[in-house]
């Protein structure tokens, strides 16, 4: 195969030789170190193949052998180059294309990072990008082993990770750590006390002796379930008390809302600017100098995809939209909506495990502000365990 490639790059010709002494021609070419192959006898002489350079130098040998030479076919790169001699642009384009393929193959084009139970694809890609491993990175600059160690140290969820580069594609394989089983220590004696003031609505005791009744009021720190239990044999046992004590608990929150506020509305005026990001090289694709006094900016990114593979080219669109600023005052309807939104956010994010029983909102004016006091009643578990030591 290598020999054929060398012959093709240098160029070779098929020829026919007719005359009286073809045997003498073969002897003379061999004696002069001229390589001839594909020798075939014919009625008038022979046919064979040799390099272009050798063919130009055998005229004297052919004359001594009384042979008449004639080229029947031409092969190889020199003849292709001669054929396209008038099409320089095509040749240059082909060379540039080959160079681009060789250069682009040295960069990372696609990262295959399937999500895990606790890590999304975007989180994995962001963690890789912090170590400068991203689409468009130079492959020879990526130290996969070092990156694997950093990701394991920075993410407690990762137990094992493997980064494999094949061509211009990186595959990410992650195995997460098995969660540690929650095994409570039932050997240590403890009491259950109230972690808040409230009125008890339900009692479910697993271990220990219950000291309160349903419907009774308790304050923070009161003993609910004792870990000191008297057995039927009138002996004292110390147990790890466990219970779920549901109670209605009162909470209060205060919100301050300004009477007047600034309101922004979006207009129809918009300016779009386009930026092309090619292997971490950014250059503008459009020129626009129009700007606004008050505006908001929105960024979007599109990646061309070919055969389910992202090409390392990004078209970034920066949209600047004009907004109008208007001074407005809170009316009763808007105030109620804002307070209701604040209350629901508190209930959802700060008391996710509690059930709302009631909500009461009182509003008053204080200068240029509205002061709102919201009283909640939540039904929640107020049981909290406290260890105690046992001495003789």
Report the 3 state secondary structure along the chain.
CHHHHHHHHHCEEEEEEEECCHHHHHHHHHHCCCCCEEEEECCCEEEEEEEHHHHHCCHHHHHHCCEEEEEEEEECHHHHHHHCCCCHHHHHHHHHHHHHHHHHCCECCEEECCCCCCCCHHHHHHHHHHCCCCCCCEHHHCCHHHHHHHHHHHCCCEEEEEEEEECCEEEEEEEECCCCCCCCCCCCCEEEEECCCEEEEEEEEEECEECCCCCCEECCCCEEEECEEECCCCCEEECECEEEEEEEEEEEEEEEEECEEEEEEEEEEEEEEEEEEECCEEEECCCCCCCCCCEEEEEEEECCEECCEECCEEEEEEEEEEEEEEEEECCHHHHHHHHHHHHHHHHHHHCCCCEEEEEEEEEEEECCEEEEEEEEEEEEECEEEEECCCCC
pLDDT score of 66 = 76
User: How long is the chain?
Assistant: 392
2-81 CATH, one of 3.40.50.300, 3.30.70.120, 2.60.60.20, 3.40.30.10: 3.30.70.120
Architecture of the domain made up of 110-176: Roll (3.10)
pLDDT score of 243 = 92
Alpha carbon distance 175, 75 (integer Å): 56
Report the first-to-last Cα separation within the chain, whole angstroms: 94
pLDDT score of 29 = 80
pLDDT score of 85 = 64
pLDDT score of 24 = 80
Domain ranges across the chain? 2-81, 110-176, 190-248, 254-259+330-380, 262-326
pLDDT tens string, the chain, 392 residues long: the values are 677 777 777 888 888 888 777 778 778 887 887 888 888 888 788 888 888 877 777 777 777 777 788 888 888 877 777 766 666 676 677 788 888 778 778 888 788 888 888 888 888 888 888 888 887 788 888 888 988 888 888 888 888 889 998 888 889 998 888 777 666 667 788 999 999 999 999 999 998 999 999 999 999 999 999 988 887 777 888 888 999 999 999 999 999 888 887 878 888 888 888 888 776 677 788 877 777 888 888 888 887 776 666 667 778 888 888 898 888 888 888 888 888 888 889 999 999 999 999 999 999 888 888 999 999 999 999 999 998 887 64
pLDDT score of 84 = 65
pLDDT score of 392 = 47
pLDDT score of 178 = 76
Residue 6 Cα distances to 10, 11, 40, 188, 304, angstroms: 6, 9, 23, 84, 40
The overall pTM is greater than 0.85: no
Alpha carbon distance 155, 127 (integer Å): 9
């Amino acid at each position: 195969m290598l020999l054929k490639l060398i012959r093709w790059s240098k160029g070779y010709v098929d020829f026919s030789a007719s005359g009286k002494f073809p045997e003498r021609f073969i002897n003379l070419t061999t004696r002069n170190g001229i390589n001839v192959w594909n020798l075939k006898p014919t009625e008038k002489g022979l046919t064979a193949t040799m390099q272009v350079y050798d063919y130009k130098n055998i005229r004297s040998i052919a004359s001594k052998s009384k042979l008449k030479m004639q080229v029947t076919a031409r092969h190889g790169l020199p003849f292709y180059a001669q054929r396209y001699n008038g099409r320089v642009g095509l040749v240059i384009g082909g060379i540039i294309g080959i160079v681009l393929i060789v250069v682009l193959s040295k960069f990372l084009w696609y990262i295959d990072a399937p999500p895990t139970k606790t890590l999304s694809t975007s989180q994995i890609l962001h963690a890789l990008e912090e170590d400068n491993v991203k689409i468009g990175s130079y492959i020879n600059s990526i130290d996969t082993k070092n990156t694997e160690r950093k990701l394991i140290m920075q993410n407690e969820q990762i137990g094992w990770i493997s980064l494999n580069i094949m061509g211009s594609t990186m595959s990410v394989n992650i195995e997460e750590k098995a969660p540690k089983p929650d095994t409570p220590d039932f050997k240590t004696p403890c009491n259950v006390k109230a972690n808040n003031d409230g009125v008890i609505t339900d009692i479910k005791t697993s271990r220990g002796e219950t000291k309160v009744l349903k419907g009774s009021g308790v304050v923070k720190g009161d003993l609910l379930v004792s870990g000191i239990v008297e057995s039927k044999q009138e002996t004292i046992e110390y147990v790890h008390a466990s219970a779920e004590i549901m109670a209605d608990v009162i909470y209060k929150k205060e919100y301050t809302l300004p009477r007047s506020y600034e309101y922004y509305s979006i207009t129809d005026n918009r300016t779009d600017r386009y930026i092309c990001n090619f292997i971490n090289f950014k250059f503008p694709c459009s020129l626009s100098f129009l700007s606004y006094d008050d505006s908001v900016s929105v960024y979007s990114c599109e990646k061309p995809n070919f055969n389910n593979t992202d090409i390392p080219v990004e078209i970034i669109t920066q949209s600047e939209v004009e907004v109008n600023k208007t001074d407005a005052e809170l009316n009763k309807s808007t105030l109620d909506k804002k307070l209701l939104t604040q209350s629901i956010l508190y209930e959802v994010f700060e008391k996710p495990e509690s059930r709302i029983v009631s909500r009461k909102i009182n509003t008053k004016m204080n200068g240029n502000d509205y002061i709102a006091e919201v009283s909640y009643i939540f039904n929640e578990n107020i049981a909290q365990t406290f260890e105690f030591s046992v001495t003789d």
